[in-house]
Amino acid sequence: MRMLVVDSFTDRPFAGNPAGVCLLDHAADAEWMQRVAAEMKHSETAFVRPIQAPDADFELRWFTPVVEVALCGHATLASAHALYETGVADGPIRFQTLRSGVLTVTRSPDGGLLMDFPACPPAETEAPDDLGEVLGTTPFWVGRNSQNDLFVLVADEEAVRKLSPDVAALGRMDARGVIVTATADPGREYAFVSRFFGAGVLLGDGEDPATGSAHCALGPYWGERLGRDRLVGYQVSERGGRVGVTLRGDRVELSGRAVTVLDGDFKA
């Protein structure tokens, strides 16, 4: 089986968010896919296989090193990039997923990729009592979305960049992950910044470098507040990641680039 490692939401190697992409020619057992993802140790490994369905061309599933997830933006981008680069696909790609319906990816005129995803705007919720202490900064607004992410607005870009939260404590909260965000500093080429922590599903330090699915919440939130239907967000992790967002009603179009850094065969 062919295995690629692709850096997503970046135009250069060793930035953005790396994902494993396993190109299958037949259905695979979920337990085996989970073991492969644990071996790869990326935040997500995607498993893609061709199917014959009225509304889809490929099945797509995503696994972190510890669980299968319902939606993953950067590994979807990586999967489409891999299919285009290896010549398996040429036109629009329709992915059939278990929990997020059909996701379509197309090429943009500038060479990037466009992904059609469901919007997941946050609704205001009561903040956990110790959230500010765990984050190490004051939350100004807290929401939760349909992906069960806690969504936290903080003072400014500097506050997001300087965060050093208690990730283990964040992982004990009732949430898939925690999105922390603020408006960008004046003069930036992006409208907002963010970071994503998912200690319950990620290994290592629990921070995801560039999270497409989080922008399904970030885009609608900032679009409403800034009065715009097209925005660019920058995830200010150590590796960094740039995500374009276009609002289309109950859908969001996420855009970005990707770079292959490894291409080989998986033997097990």
Catalytic machinery residues: 44
Partners of 68 in beta bridges: 63
Asked if 192 and 231 count as a contact pair (C-beta separation under 8 A), the reply is yes
Asked if 210 and 243 count as a contact pair (C-beta separation under 8 A), the reply is yes
Going by their DSSP bridges, the two strands 102-107 and 93-96 should be labelled as antiparallel
Question: Position of tokens 């972190």?
Answer: 64
Asked if 231 and 223 count as a contact pair (C-beta separation under 8 A), the reply is yes
Asked if 36 and 50 count as a contact pair (C-beta separation under 8 A), the reply is no
SS (H, E, C) 227-241: CCCEEEEEECCCCCE
Question: What φ, ψ does residue 140 adopt, rounded to 5°?
Answer: -95, -25
Candidates 104, 89, 86, 90; CA nearest to 1 is: 86
Distances (CA, A) of 179 to 107, 119, 171, 215: 28, 15, 12, 9
d(CA 145, CA 261): 33
